[in-house]
Amino acid sequence: MDVYYTVEYEIGESVYGRVCAVSHKVSGQKRILKSIRKRHLGKGLHQGAGGGAGGAGGEDVASWRRRELDKLRSGIRHPHINALLEWFETPDEYELLFEDAPGGEIVVHI
């Protein structure tokens, strides 16, 4: 990821990952990078009904990843939803690259 994008600033961070504003090193295009830490995914996926991202039955991380990325790549176009442009996998994280949503924090507009 560092080969193509430069981190401009961090937007937020949690136990599960972080969100940063990045820019493409060649074109300068602004994007949003969401990094999800793999070590925390399995905990929520195997809790069963109502227990996090996996829901009933305890889903493995590979199935969760495939299902969630399929949803994001399905071509959803809506003015209030950022489109997934690319995703990368490292040994420790999933990195999802979204289009930028100019206009600042949504809470400012509510």
Task: State how many domains the chain has.
Answer: 1
CATH number for the domain spanning 41: value is 3.30.200.20
The pTM for the full model equals 0.70
Distance (Å, whole) CA 105 – CA 36: 21
Give tens-digit pLDDT for 62-103. Answer: 777 777 777 777 767 766 678 888 888 889 988 989 888 776
DSSP assignment of 92-110: SEEEEEEE---S--HHHH-
Give the residue numbers spanning the domain of 36: 5-109
User: Where is 19: in which H helix or E strand?
Assistant: strand 17-24
Tokens of 37: 């830490």
